Amino acid sequence: MQFFKLFAVFSILTFLMFSCSFNHQNSSGSQRRQNFTRQEQHIMQAARGIISRAYFGTLITIDQNGNAKARLMEPFAPEKYFVIYLATNPKSRKVQEIQQNHQVTLHYIDEPRTGYVSLYGNIDIVTNDSIKKAHWKNGWERFYPNKSDGYMLLKFIPDYLEIISIRDSLTGDTNNWQPAKVIFFSSSK
């Protein structure tokens, strides 16, 4: 009997994990896109290049007065669909701002090559300990000496990205300077 209970729990958890990862929706109820054009794939490849060269990114939150607040961060490399994890101190102002407004911007600059990537989306606090353990960088002990209480992991899920990259011939619209764009969610309507 115990075996069947464990099997049932395992089956339910497996179903939930797969359904969440393959049928993800953003906060507006849109479905994650699965297919991208060649041009969008080129844009995403260029964006990954800028992010890897930049190393640091700027996280922009909105405070309680509606003011944008920018912080230099050491994000992890983007995962599929540009999901990006970041670490912070749970007592930082950005955590309070994120709790009030999950919409943020993550910005990377490719200074020597005249380019940038801006990702716009939502960020959440990660409470899963195994995910937190998997997203730890050697050397962070000096910033987070009390890893269990002083280290918070954030998960950023972009709705879309914009990019300018001279190197990759992504110079934007010459009329209105609108950068190249990739939208990660399609409307469910």
Question: DSSP string of 28-60?
Answer: TSPEEP----HHHHHHHHHHHHHHHHH--EEEE
Would 131 be classed as within a structural domain?
A: yes
* CATH number of 138's domain: 2.30.110.10
The answer to whether residue 143 sits within a structural domain is yes
For the chain, the domain total comes to 1
Give yes or no for a contact between 83 and 156, defined as CB atoms under 8 angstroms apart.
yes
57 in any annotated domain: yes
Confidence band for 12, pLDDT divided at 50, 70 and 90: very low
Tell whether the model's pLDDT for residue 4 goes beyond 90. no
Cα 162 from Cα 174, distance rounded (Å): 15
User: What token pair was written down for 61?
Assistant: 């939150």
> 163 pLDDT exceeds 50?
yes
- Does pLDDT of 189 surpass 50? no
Locate tokens 């990954």: which residue?
A: 48
149 within some domain: yes
Question: What domain range is 106 assigned to?
Answer: 37-186
Indicate whether 14 belongs to any domain. no
126, β-bridge pairs: 153
Q: Express each pLDDT in 131-160 by its tens digit.
A: 999 999 988 889 898 888 899 999 999 999
Report the Cα–Cα distance between both ends of the chain, in Å, rounded.
45
Q: What CA–CA distances, in Å, run from 120 to 36, 48, 85, 129?
A: 18, 15, 14, 26
At 15 the pLDDT is 31
**Is residue 31 in some structural domain?**
no
- Distance separating alpha carbons of residues 41 and 44, to the nearest angstrom: 5
pLDDT tens digits, residue range 23-74? Answer: 455 656 678 888 999 999 999 999 999 999 999 999 999 999 999 999 999 9
